[in-house]
Amino acid sequence: MLFLRNSLTILLPLPAWVLASDFRVKESTEPPRGWTRLAEAPSAHTISLRIALPQADFAELERRIYQVSDPGHELYGQHLSKEQVEALVSPRPTSLEAVNAWLKDHGFEEKDFDRSAAKDWVNINVPVALAEKMLGTKYHTWRHDESGDRLVRTTSYSLPAHLHEHIELIQPTTMFARWSAMKTTIHWPELVEDSSPSFAGSASGNRLAIKVASTDVDPSCNQTITISCLKQLYKIGDYVPKSPRKTSIGITGYLEEFANLADLQSFYNDQVKPAVNSSFKFVSVKGGLNNQTLSEAGAEANLDVQFAFGLSFPIPGTFWSTAGRPPFIPDLTTPTNTNEPYLDWVDFVLRQKEVPHSISTSYGEPEQTVPRKYAERVCHELAQLAARGVSLMYSSGDGGVGDGSEDPADHLCFTNDGKNTHRFMPTFPATCPFVTAVGGTNDVPETAVFFSGGGFSDYFKRPFYQDRAVGKFLENTPSDLYQGLYNRAGRGFPDVAAQGRRFRIWWRGRAVSIGGTSASAPVFAAIVALLNDVRVSKGLPPLGFLNPLLYLIGPLGFNDITQGNNPGCGTPGFNATVGWDPITGLGTPDFSKLKALVSGH
């Protein structure tokens, strides 16, 4: 490298990354549908680069996950510790050294890094001009045509050739997922004022009593879903947790969604009187706020907290509020998180020694809007929690097999790869094979709700635990049905289901009716929390990663849902059938049966 000083030419050593090789493309993508490129990104704008280093032995971690999650294995329930997980995913020393040297060449010191607990992620705040130099690229401001949201992104970036084996991916670069409008999978048309006096269990009108599996269910439950309805429908009855302080349940919150305490007390007074005056643990992630102004209460957060914590009371609950969302504001030069905030939550939770045993998330995004490498890496992060004995529930989505549109010309039902292929839209992170995806039902007796997200992943192959159940569904499904619209070899979702319409919650001081698989996931998470109590009260470990167990017991613990379909992308979607189907999975839970099944291992 040549520098001129006082008319003298001084020869300085070239940085190692320059000597090693020229830049080579690491990742590229087609300009996404629905986005318009505007101007070059301001050079002084600061972005938060997240650099992923290859995990040394993820294959071994995956093997261990399935050992401790298989009821037939001698290691069942022997979940890994935080330290054991980190030892398996920590990058190799050569990768750490190579990335450290590269960052040092660009002026960064150790004090500038924010590393994950396992050191497999490095986060740095970088001006756009320097990021462009480091990545051999050009950033632009992009506008989402429909919403007006703006992001700073590029469609391609490069790295010195010798770094390719030491860096798995870097974001934000090519990811155009609209986490800024991350669908809460809440079915907003259901949001109507509920003027009924109370639905704590009393019948209303002259409707006939309903029988489900020989258990009377209050007729009001066909109009409004309450805690009492769920206890009747899923045979929880009067079960009271025996060791509530030995297990736990958690709810994630994003996009300035706050769970309002006043609304929670109104809900408890309405439906769970023993819980009145109780609360939950609030945890802020990356500066997540907790605005308790009643007029700013979040419907999503209220729904999740009220039903998850109300159904599992008195098991302790935790609510995380994670900050960070676009749109990008061009005149800001302070660090702006134009990553999706979801990974911030994962990173935070993985750093904790103790994590709630059952966690529900009601957020998702079309799989194709997330780069494959990024989706795979996020799934690997979730696998670390699974290995530690955490059950992760995710809403399957509210768009049926696509975006909920019956118009085949809808742009959301076409691929983003430049080919514009008509395609069903699976939902991420529900498609990750290390989580339990929860679809929706409605009515009593239960049928599949029309908006229940479901289908097959384009990114993740079918895991072995699904081979029998999903294989049987595909055997009974003509291969030419929707040919080319979905991946028959992909991970099928959802895994299970629960009620997803007409939930009576309290929101901003009033009772309203609301729906979506946003309701289904926290309900199932609450039932898992109760099952964990069954186990820990007998000296057994919590259930942890659920899917191998769920697919093993199948109809022994679930109510099979055989009616309904999930239209989208100009098609009627899939049909609910006997056995697993890509609308309601294995069906809805029968707590009385599940309780017996999980209490002896």
Residue 160 in any domain: the answer is yes
Cα 374 from Cα 238, distance rounded (Å): 44
Asked if 304 is an active-site residue, the reply is: yes
Same domain, 204 and 325: yes
| pLDDT tens-digit readout, 463-513 | 999 999 999 999 999 989 999 999 999 999 999 999 999 999 999 999 999
Region 375-399 average pLDDT:
96
Give me the CATH number covering residue 228: 3.40.50.200
Q: pLDDT category, 441, cuts 50, 70, 90?
A: very high
* 167 lies in the same domain as 193: no
Residues 157 and 210 in one domain: no
* Residue after which a domain boundary falls, among 152, 176, 200: 176
C-alpha span between 597 and 585 (Å, rounded)? 19
d(CA 39, CA 152): 10
Whether 12 is covered by a domain: the verdict is: no
Tokens of 100: 């450290």
The DSSP call for residue 368 is G
Ligand-binding site membership of 560 (annotated): yes
In a domain, residue 316? The reply is yes
* Residue 142 sits in the same domain as residue 247: no
Q: Tell me whether residue 518 is one of the annotated catalytic residues.
A: yes
Give the CA distances from residue 223 to residues 5, 213, 388, 417, 513, in Å, rounded to whole numbers and listed in that order.
82, 19, 40, 43, 10
Q: Is residue 498 part of a domain?
A: yes
What value does the mean pLDDT take over residues 447-464? Answer: 97
pLDDT given for residue 84 in this prediction: 98
Residues found in the chain: 601
Rounded Cα–Cα distance for residues 114 and 351 (Å): 12
Greater pLDDT, 479 or 461: 461
Which residues form the domain of 143?
A: 18-55+90-176
- Active-site residue, selected from the candidate residues 518, 520, 533, 590: 518
Alpha carbon separation from 120 to 107, 166, 339, 435 (Å, rounded) = 21, 10, 17, 21
Q: Is 149 annotated as a binding residue?
A: no
**Number of domains the chain contains:** 2
Residue 208 counted as domain residue:
yes
User: Which three-class secondary structure string do you get for 105-132?
Assistant: HCCCCHHHCEECCCCCEEEEEEEHHHHH
Q: Is 124 annotated as a binding residue?
A: no
- Position 590 in a domain: yes
pLDDT digits (tens, 9 = 90+) for 149-201: 788 899 999 999 999 999 999 998 988 876 543 355 566 556 666 655 443 33
Q: Is 581 annotated as a binding residue?
A: yes
**Which of the four pLDDT bands, split at 50, 70 and 90, describes residue 413?**
confident
The reported pLDDT for the residue numbered 365 is 83
Half-sphere exposure of 396 (CA within 13 A, CB side): 39
Q: Please indicate whether residue 300 is annotated as part of the active site.
A: yes
Tell me which of 153, 176, 199 is where a domain ends: 176
Residues 322 and 275 in one domain: yes
- CB-side exposure of 273: number of CA atoms within 13 Å? 4
Identified catalytic residue from 27, 62, 263, 304: 304
Asked if 168 and 302 sit in the same domain, the reply is: no
Shared domain for 343 and 364, answered yes or no, is: yes
In a shared domain, residues 558 and 422: yes
Using CA atoms, how far apart are residues 198 and 196, in angstroms rounded to an integer?
Answer: 6
Its pTM stands at 0.90
Q: Which 8-state DSSP code applies to residue 474?
A: H
150 Cβ contact list (under 8 Å, min separation 6) = 38, 141, 142, 143, 144, 326, 327, 328, 329, 330
Percent of the chain with pLDDT over 70: 86
Catalytic residue among 263, 300, 446, 533: 300
112 and 260 part of one domain: no
Report if residue 336 sits inside a domain: yes
Q: Which residues lie closer than 8 Å to 223 by C-beta, 6 or more apart?
A: 204, 502
Averaged pLDDT of the chain: 87
* Last residue within a domain, chosen from 143, 176, 209: 176
Residues 143 and 217 in one domain: no
Are 590 and 543 in a shared domain?
yes
Distance CA 368, CA 124 (A): 26
Question: Distance between CA atoms of 395 and 333, rounded to whole angstroms?
Answer: 36
pLDDT score, position 393:
98
Structural domain includes residue 487: yes
Query: Do 260 and 350 lie in a common domain?
Result: yes
